[in-house]
Structure 1
Amino acid sequence: MNLSEHIAINRQLAECVCQRLTEEINELGFTEADIRHYPRYDDADFVLIKDPYAGADNLACYWYDEPKKQRIGRLQFNSDGTFYAEYDVVKPHPTKTRRFVEGVTAWGKAEQIKSEAKLLEMPE
């Protein structure tokens, strides 16, 4: 299977994962004006990565900032049907002054998408 086929086959799940990451960001209390980039499947750069154990190709999707110099997120589909995604937020929490939002993550399979925010304590 080539790269284009992997992109097409994973589209529906990828768009659900992107939506879940976006919801996780918004549930923290950020407004759309606070976030410069939200994860969108069509905005990703795609590559195939060989699974060292199964020998199959995994689709990896990477998001970059505007000048495309720094990676701000990734989503990988594994040959066993699982996925893992992370997307950077890197901002102080909008309502909890002692917290900093590093990013959001999502993982699972098509039937079960789990997600959470990665929060850090602000130094005193």
Structure 2
Amino acid sequence: MSDLTAQITANRPLGEAVCQRLSAEIDKLGFAASEALPYPQYDEARFELVKDPYTGGHNLACHWFNHANKQRLGKLQFNSDGSFYAEFDVVKPHPRKSQWFVEGVTAWGQADNIKAEAKLLPLTP
């Protein structure tokens, strides 16, 4: 088994939990079902190992892309210290708060403490 395959397998439970948390943050915003927003799925990511500049170890980076135009939608990186950071684009006006624009959602932490929030930008009149 290659290092990349081993990392993908080892990080699968946390990766799937992070994807669920990001999806829950999108759902909490209140978009209509008809919006057909993309959601992050662990197995739909493209994976690569990136060198950690501090430890010299390898971190697993996961990238999601739009199927239609191959534009990047998000990223999840597992760090060699057990932490992670994820972001996933939404790029739509807030469905319930007209003064805000939803840039995306983020998640960070470790397996036993996943935190997440929406990234909102104020709309100027």
TM-score (norm 1): 0.96
Counterpart contact for 1:35–1:89, Cα < 8 Å: no
1:31 maps onto 2:32 in alignment: yes
Paired residue for 2:76?
Answer: 75
Matches within 5 A, 1:52-91: 52-91=53-92
Once residues 12 and 69 of structure 2 are traced to their aligned partners in structure 1, the CA distance between those partners, rounded to angstroms, is: 22
Query: TM-score, normalised to structure 2's length?
Result: 0.95
Find the aligned partners of 1:86 and 1:112 in 2 and give their Cα distance.
16
2:114 is aligned with 1:113: yes
How many residue pairs align between the two structures?
A: 124
Q: Within 2, Cα distance between the matches of 1:55 and 1:31?
A: 45
Runs of 4+ in 1 over 4 A off after TM superposition: none
Give the aligned partner of residue 44 of structure 1: 45
| Identity rate, percent | 59
Give the conservation status (yes or no) of the 8 Å contact 1:87–1:105.
yes
The alpha-carbon deviation at position 30 of structure 1 amounts to 1.2
Please report how far the alpha carbon of residue 61 of structure 1 lies from its aligned counterpart in structure 2 after TM superposition.
0.1
SS of the residue corresponding to residue 35 of structure 2 reads: coil
RMSD across aligned positions (CA): 1.1
What is the deviation of 1:35? 3.7
- The equivalent of 1:12 in structure 2 is 13
Q: Write the distance in 2 (CA, Å) between the matches of 1:5 and 1:69.
A: 26
Q: Which runs of 5+ in 2 are unaligned?
A: none
Shift of 1:68: 4.9
Taking the aligned partners of 1:4 and 1:57, their CA distance within structure 2 comes to 13
SS of 1:3 mapped into structure 2: helix
